[in-house]
Amino acid sequence: MTDLTYEAVVQLLRTAGCVFAEDEAALLLQSAQSPAELAAMVDRRVAGEPLEVVVGWASFCGLRIEIDAGVFVPRLRTEFLVDEAARLVELVRLVLPSEEPVVVLDLCCGSGALGVALAETLDADVELYSVDVDPVAVACARRNVAPVDGVVFEGDLDAPLPDHLLGRVEVLLANVPYVPSRVIGSMPPEARLHEPRVTLDGGPDGLDVLRRVAELAPRWLVPGGHVFVETSESQADEACAAFEAAGLTARVAVDVDREATAVVGTLLPE
């Protein structure tokens, strides 16, 4: 077998339908430790595995986040949730200075990307707790949150959380699965075939898990604390209604460039 050149890799990727064939080829060449490994990586990519799984990491908020096979690849648009959370925490700390660590809870954490990115973004110390129901994601998240001393629990939403967090969470991040069940079949193969259904499927209208997060949020949030979820544009009003029904105030935030919609709920102090 002859060693693959950059041009050959670009050609193979382009034929397989990779839109950013040049960028991907450069990354694969950088990542492979040997010609044999490069050939194997190109084969996997051509067969449709997400690039991030093939190279083992994704870029998120400027960080290198490890991604194992079967773990949801953090999306660029989701950086908006982290930016919004950081902006609000910094605003609150400006008005009410505090030396206390910011308590952050990342539900449905997948690789753990959101929590670790927020911890790395904030100037303040952060106490980070993350949860995912999938043991493969939990193992991956544990490696990613280690540099910020985060703790990862395995289980259903807030079920595994310790009581000492009740009423203490300043930021609850929850990029839950929010794809309506009937839409999953028409998603791109990278997601449909390589990301487990539990990472995508939000039930009939996509909001089943989100509604559960809205219900549980007031128990864990400190008065004045915020919960941040991502939705599609068309789900945002329904998500606000779920937050309001749970006793939170709600607003929609949009980032046009990243095509991101976030719904931010706040537990108002009594």
Ligand X SMILES: C[S@@+](CC[C@H](N)C(=O)[O-])C[C@H]1O[C@@H](n2cnc3c(N)ncnc32)[C@H](O)[C@@H]1O
Q: Binding residues for ligand X, per CB under 6 A?
A: 72, 74, 78, 108-111, 113-114, 131-134, 137, 156-157, 175-177, 198-199, 209
Q: Which CB atom, from 102 or from 174, has the smaller least distance to ligand X?
A: 174
The least CB distance from residue 7 to ligand X, in Å, is 34
The least CB distance from residue 9 to ligand X, in Å, is 27
At what angle are helices 113-121 and 135-145 packed, to 10 degrees? 20
The least CB distance from residue 49 to ligand X, in Å, is 17
The least CB distance from residue 216 to ligand X, in Å, is 11
Which single residue brings its beta carbon nearest to ligand X? 110
- What CA–CA distances, in Å, run from 155 to 48, 107, 159, 266? 30, 10, 6, 25
CB-based contacts of 175: which residues, under 8 Å, 6+ apart? 78, 81, 108, 110, 114, 229, 230
Q: Which CB atom, from 25 or from 81, has the smaller least distance to ligand X?
A: 81
Q: Which CB atom, from 169 or from 176, has the smaller least distance to ligand X?
A: 176
**Separation between Cα atoms, residue 248 and residue 232, nearest integer Å:** 20
Query: Taking a C-beta distance cutoff of 8 angstroms, is the pair 178, 207 a contact?
Result: yes
Q: Which CB atom, from 41 or from 65, has the smaller least distance to ligand X?
A: 65
Q: Which CB atom, from 9 or from 145, has the smaller least distance to ligand X?
A: 145
Q: Other CB atoms closer than 10 Å to residue 200's CB: what's the count?
A: 19
**Nearest partner of 82 among 119, 107, 55, judged by Cα:** 119
Amino acid at 72: F
Strands 260-266 and 221-231 turn out to be antiparallel
User: In the structure encoding, which two tokens stand for residue 238, read together?
Assistant: 């329904």
**Separation between Cα atoms, residue 218 and residue 239, nearest integer Å:** 15
Q: Which CB atom, from 12 or from 67, has the smaller least distance to ligand X?
A: 67
The least CB distance from residue 237 to ligand X, in Å, is 20
The least CB distance from residue 2 to ligand X, in Å, is 38
